[in-house]
A and B are shown apart, each in its own frame.
Chain A
Amino acid sequence: MDTLKVRDAKDVEQVVQAAIASEQPIEIVGHGSKRQIGQPIATNALLDLSALNAVSSYEPNELIITVQAGAPLADVQSLIDSKNQQFAFEPIDTSMLLGVSGSGTIGGMIGAGLAGPRRIKAGGARDHLLGAHAVSGFGDSFKTGGKVVKNVTGYDLCKLLTGSWGTLAVMTEVTLKVMPKPESERTLMLRSLDDLTANRAMTAALGSPFDVSGAAHLPNSAFRPASGALADLGSRSPGSQAQAVTLVRLEGIAASVADRAGSLSKTLASFGAVEILQDAASAAVWRAIRDIEPFAASGSLGAWPVWRIVCPPASGGALGQALARDTGGDVIYDWGGGLIWAALPPRPDAQAALLRQRVEAAGGHAMLIRASELVRSNVDVFHPQPGGLASLSERVRHSFDPKTILNRGRLTLGSRS
């Protein structure tokens, strides 16, 4: 296995051109923190972007940052944090879930496009990528978008690059939108709701004018394996039986948060007594939810495959409840019910057929975000699309990479060679 550590965009072009010439696919990696996601792929060469790690420019007053794709996400986050700014979509750190170290690179964050709890308010990674330089499977460097927040010049290829898992082009530099960090936050917490009632409570909160920036539900089962920030949350007192909690986050200037917390508590009064988590406690809980701490690789469900299910938010409770019952698994809800993480007891097929049938019936889709290589070799990791859409997606992929040089087979089962 060759690891080709590129120094600049020119090197990337050369590697891809050589790969085209020798008809050898290449795997694209930054820190490799998400290599365990996707259909397993086998290439003779790794294109390593980790040395392309510079911050090209950061202009807090313009709300943009331009960085090379291999820049470590953690470093970039501390840089923008020093100016009280953040990536508003709350990129997920998958390291705890996958049992690897490090949260990876900016390129990986965009390639995976996994957004956290604030997606319901601030949008996803796709909504924050403003421009990119990339090398296509034609071996050519191209750019798309720009370095301003408002731009409709030409097709918005940034949307395609986000969440394409490295199958369209090798990003070398990206421009991202940054947003001010909220001055304060509060989380409203309801206890002991079943999944359906919790779903209704979250729907009521999200349908209110109080600008909710997070809505999650942790059934009592979620506390079984929990350690860290969530460990004490489910119990009123040490040692007592854990109860489900439903969490709704408000962010902004302190006076506004306090005011909205008061109003929203009244809106939610019919669902039970509202407890309040303040700034640091609130932040810790949402970080744990963002990173799916109950299903951590080091925890008691570490060996279970984990599905990431996206569905219409108001259907989430019913779907999650049915899945937990029929698969014997555990679920947690984010995005007001629109995102379900499901850890299922291990089976060779990760219960894909049953799960996808239920998910599709609810109008959603599901991705197997954690499973052994053997399971991922036999199961569609990404949700299979209906014929017409699958053909169009394949034509789109082909328009960037006709020789299937880049991450060949990562998205589609059986397309490895």
Chain B
Amino acid sequence: MAIMMPASDQAVLDRRDKIVAALRAIVPGEGVIDSAAEMLPYESDGLMAYRQPPMVVVLPDTTEQVSQVLKYCSEQGIKVVPRGSGTSLSGGALPLADGVLLGLGKFKRIREIDFDNRVVVTEPGVTNLAISQAVAHAGFYYAPDPSSQIACSIGGNVAENSGGVHCLKYGMTTNNVLGCEIVLMSGEILKIGGKCAENAGYDLMGIITGSEGLLGVITEITVRILQKPETARALMVGFAEVEAAGECVARIIGAGIIPGGMEMMDKPAIHAAEAFVHAGYPLDVEALLIIELDGPSVEVDELITRVETIAKGCGSVTLQISTSEMERNLFWAGRKAAFPAVGRISPDYLCMDGTIPRGALPKALARIRELSEKYGLGVANVFHAGDGNLHPLILYDANKPGEMDRAEAFGADILRCCVELGGVLTGEHGVGIEKRDLMPEMFTEIDLNQQQRLKCAFDAQGLLNPGKVFPTLHRCAELGRVHVHGGKLAFPELPRF
């Protein structure tokens, strides 16, 4: 394993039987799993290259149990790793050998649907899609739609601030959650926000969203729901050059059009997808754009025409406009199946997740091609073109010695390139363990210290999900020290008025 996890605490491991018994006293019956065979499903999440059985798995089904488990672990100095559905692509739920894996899978109930206030109050183990399904009869849906929405839990979505293909127009998770119930590592239960548009005091909901399970364990969430747009239509546009596709994206945005979704695939991704789902993708283009417009039909019809004009002006070589739901879904089928499609042409692949300024796309793709030659590994690119979020899929074979290491080094170089181009390490998959050691590429030690001080405000012992996000662990006391620069100075020489 290339990523080092925090050293195991032998004293904790020696007490394993006692710990299991104590946890059983809190969560009776089948809620505590300690046999190696039964813990197997929990040893990995969506980042399957990394595996680690936990010390024990606990599956509480009430907030009170979560609170007691955390309180006990806090008192006993035991690490805890929270887990939703285990679909994280960055290793956010990778267990620790000396840690309790706290699964929220039993929190499966939608607690309240409030159409008048346009919110759903739900337990964290409910899947993303299940929320939309629960309100569909009244024309509502929950907007963020990560590709894993059939399986991923809303609790995990909050922890990772998940995105999806529609987030350019409708925002990420953080823009669609209003409140939560959270249990701190101490066992303290707090209610943050609720049905109001915004909360009093500091925006704690905002900081918890995307905190990757390091600040607390979420036991209830209030999400915003929206009315479904009346209709949606898509264009599928092929270009002979990536640059022209990039220009087309820029001109659409420049014309003041915010599509519901705007996706790009490069040639290897188009070929893999077409071979898999037979969506009718053109095979002789270098880049394919899928642009979806949604809203009232008069609006969609007009915007389709405007986008068509822009695309032609950018030299599109193929252009199709969906005329039915079936056709629209077919356009999307290849894109939505891009990851498994690539999985068919390569024994293994690594999915990267950098974001770049949209304008830098041709540069980024050129650099990725160079790196692909340098490392001798193939790559297919799918790209949330509207918001600059790039998903290069690096093809490798884990059974060939050294290939996984090469693939990881290739991936790290891609992310460094994203940062160099003015972008960031991760647009929606999270840092987890995957990009943890790359954090210094984007942040200084001071930047990271400030983030870790915030962690101390929630979890002073550093017991909740340690080893994720931050490359170096610091003690809170050390981080909290204020350095007085230059003794008792007067204010410096500045213009005074």
Beta-carbon contacts under 8 Å, A104-150 to B? 115, 119-120, 123-124, 126-127, 136-144, 146-150
Q: Is the CB of B197 within 8 A of A120?
A: yes
Q: Choose the segment among A268-276, A277-285, A384-392 that binds chain B (4+ C-beta atoms closer than 8 Å).
A: A384-392
Pick 16 A–B contacts, CB within 8 A, sort by A.
Answer: A5-B496, A15-B492, A21-B487, A142-B450, A148-B422, A150-B355, A152-B210, A152-B428, A160-B454, A253-B299, A256-B296, A256-B298, A259-B296, A389-B192, A392-B458, A396-B454
Shortest distance from the beta carbon of B156 to any chain A beta carbon, whole Å? 13
Q: Which listed residue, B114, B296, B384, B428, touches A260 by the CB 8 Å rule?
A: B296
Shortest distance from the beta carbon of B250 to any chain A beta carbon, whole Å? 5
Q: Which listed residue, A63, A149, A259, A363, touches B195 by the CB 8 Å rule?
A: A363
Q: Is the CB of B387 within 8 A of A60?
A: no
Shortest distance from the beta carbon of A21 to any chain B beta carbon, whole Å? 5
Bound together, the chains give a CA A19 to CA B485 distance in angstroms of 10
Count A-B contacts at CB 8 Å: 312
**What 1/0 mask marks residues of chain B from 292 to 309 whose CB sits below 8 Å from any chain A CB?**
000110110011000000
Q: Which listed residue, A138, A154, A312, A335, touches B194 by the CB 8 Å rule?
A: A312
Confirm or deny: A75 has a beta carbon within 8 angstroms of a beta carbon on chain B: no
Confirm or deny: B203 has a beta carbon within 8 angstroms of a beta carbon on chain A: yes
Shortest distance from the beta carbon of A294 to any chain B beta carbon, whole Å? 21
Confirm or deny: B2 has a beta carbon within 8 angstroms of a beta carbon on chain A: no
Given known A5-B494, A5-B495, A206-B118, contact A160–B207 (CB-CB < 8 A): yes
Q: How many residues of B contact A (CB 8 A)?
A: 107
Provide the residues of chain B in CB contact with A127, threshold 8 Å. 171, 174-175
12 more CB-based (< 8 A) A-B contacts, given A143-B447, A396-B457: A4-B491, A61-B359, A126-B203, A144-B447, A153-B431, A163-B202, A179-B258, A253-B303, A389-B190, A389-B201, A399-B457, A403-B482
Q: Is the CB of B227 within 8 A of A14?
A: no
Bound together, the chains give a CA A59 to CA B492 distance in angstroms of 36
Select the residue from B229, B429, B439, B491 with max chain A CB neighbours within 10 A: B491
Q: Choose the segment among A31-39, A207-215, A241-249, A347-355 that binds chain B (4+ C-beta atoms closer than 8 Å).
A: A207-215
Q: Is the CB of B117 within 8 A of A402?
A: no
Confirm or deny: B44 has a beta carbon within 8 angstroms of a beta carbon on chain A: no
Provide the residues of chain B in CB contact with A22, threshold 8 Å. 488-490
**What 1/0 mask marks residues of chain A from 149 to 184 whose CB sits below 8 Å from any chain B CB?**
111111111111011100010000000000111010
Confirm or deny: B315 has a beta carbon within 8 angstroms of a beta carbon on chain A: no
Q: Is the CB of A211 within 8 A of B200?
A: no
Provide the residues of chain B in CB contact with A211, threshold 8 Å. 227, 229, 295-296
Given known A209-B230, A385-B200, contact A147–B457 (CB-CB < 8 A): no
Given known A160-B207, A313-B117, contact A61–B457 (CB-CB < 8 A): no
Confirm or deny: A229 has a beta carbon within 8 angstroms of a beta carbon on chain B: no
Bound together, the chains give a CA A400 to CA B202 distance in angstroms of 12
Q: Is the CB of B428 within 8 A of A160?
A: no
Confirm or deny: A314 has a beta carbon within 8 angstroms of a beta carbon on chain B: yes
Which A residues are within 8 Å of any B CB, using their own CB? 2-7, 11, 14-15, 17-22, 45, 48, 59-63, 84-85, 115, 119-120, 123-124, 126-127, 136-144, 146-160, 162-164, 168, 179-181, 183, 203, 206-211, 252-253, 255-256, 259-260, 263, 310-315, 335, 338-339, 363-365, 367, 382-383, 385, 388-390, 392-393, 395-400, 402-403, 411
Q: Is the CB of A153 within 8 A of B456?
A: no
Provide the residues of chain B in CB contact with A159, threshold 8 Å. 174, 203, 205-207, 209
Q: Which residue of B lies closest to A131 (CB)?
A: B424
Q: Is the CB of A152 within 8 A of B497?
A: no
Identify whether the interface residues of B are mostly helix, strand, loop, or mixed. Answer: loop
Q: Is the CB of B439 within 8 A of A154?
A: yes
Given known A138-B483, A156-B207, contact A150–B491 (CB-CB < 8 A): no
Bound together, the chains give a CA A120 to CA B116 distance in angstroms of 14
Provide the residues of chain B in CB contact with A138, threshold 8 Å. 450, 482-483
Confirm or deny: B196 has a beta carbon within 8 angstroms of a beta carbon on chain A: yes
Q: Is the CB of B256 within 8 A of A154?
A: no
Confirm or deny: B264 has a beta carbon within 8 angstroms of a beta carbon on chain A: no
Q: Is the CB of B197 within 8 A of A338?
A: yes
Identify whether the interface residues of A are mostly helix, strand, loop, or mixed. Answer: mixed
Q: Is the CB of A124 within 8 A of B295?
A: no
Bound together, the chains give a CA A364 to CA B456 distance in angstroms of 29
Q: Is the CB of A252 within 8 A of B203?
A: no
Shortest distance from the beta carbon of A289 to any chain B beta carbon, whole Å? 16
Q: Is the CB of B302 within 8 A of A157?
A: no
Provide the residues of chain B in CB contact with A253, threshold 8 Å. 299, 302-303
Bound together, the chains give a CA A356 to CA B415 distance in angstroms of 50
Provide the residues of chain B in CB contact with A210, threshold 8 Å. 296
Bound together, the chains give a CA A398 to CA B476 distance in angstroms of 12
Provide the residues of chain A in CB contact with B203, threshold 8 Å. 126, 159-160, 162-163
Select the residue from A22, A120, A155 with max chain B CB neighbours within 10 A: A155
Shortest distance from the beta carbon of A119 to any chain B beta carbon, whole Å? 6
Bound together, the chains give a CA A231 to CA B428 distance in angstroms of 48
Q: Which residue of B lies closest to A163 (CB)?
A: B203
Confirm or deny: B124 has a beta carbon within 8 angstroms of a beta carbon on chain A: no
Shortest distance from the beta carbon of A6 to any chain B beta carbon, whole Å? 6
Q: Which residue of A lies closest to B494 (CB)?
A: A4
Select the residue from A146, A208, A367, A382 with max chain B CB neighbours within 10 A: A146
Q: Is the CB of B491 within 8 A of A389?
A: no
Q: Is the CB of B190 within 8 A of A388?
A: yes
Nearest 6 Cβ contacts at the A-B interface: A159-B206, A180-B256, A256-B299, A312-B195, A314-B116, A395-B457
**What 1/0 mask marks residues of chain B from 179 to 205 whose CB sits below 8 Å from any chain A CB?**
000001000111110111111111111
Q: Choose the segment among B102-110, B159-167, B273-281 that binds chain A (4+ C-beta atoms closer than 8 Å).
A: B159-167
Shortest distance from the beta carbon of A31 to any chain B beta carbon, whole Å? 13
Q: Is the CB of B201 within 8 A of A385?
A: yes
Q: Is the CB of A7 within 8 A of B494?
A: yes
Q: Is the CB of A160 within 8 A of B202?
A: yes
Shortest distance from the beta carbon of A106 to any chain B beta carbon, whole Å? 18
Select the residue from B117, B423, B426 with max chain A CB neighbours within 10 A: B117
Q: Is the CB of A11 within 8 A of B488?
A: no
Confirm or deny: B362 has a beta carbon within 8 angstroms of a beta carbon on chain A: no
Q: Which residue of A lies closest to B388 (CB)?
A: A148
Bound together, the chains give a CA A22 to CA B458 distance in angstroms of 29
Shortest distance from the beta carbon of B478 to any chain A beta carbon, whole Å? 13
Q: Is the CB of B486 within 8 A of A21?
A: yes
Confirm or deny: B453 has a beta carbon within 8 angstroms of a beta carbon on chain A: yes
**What 1/0 mask marks residues of chain B from 213 to 252 whose CB sits below 8 Å from any chain A CB?**
0000000000000011110000000000000000000100
Confirm or deny: B480 has a beta carbon within 8 angstroms of a beta carbon on chain A: yes
Q: Is the CB of B496 within 8 A of A3?
A: yes
Q: Is the CB of A259 within 8 A of B190?
A: no
Bound together, the chains give a CA A248 to CA B492 distance in angstroms of 53
Q: Which residue of A lies closest to B215 (CB)?
A: A155
Shortest distance from the beta carbon of B351 to any chain A beta carbon, whole Å? 15
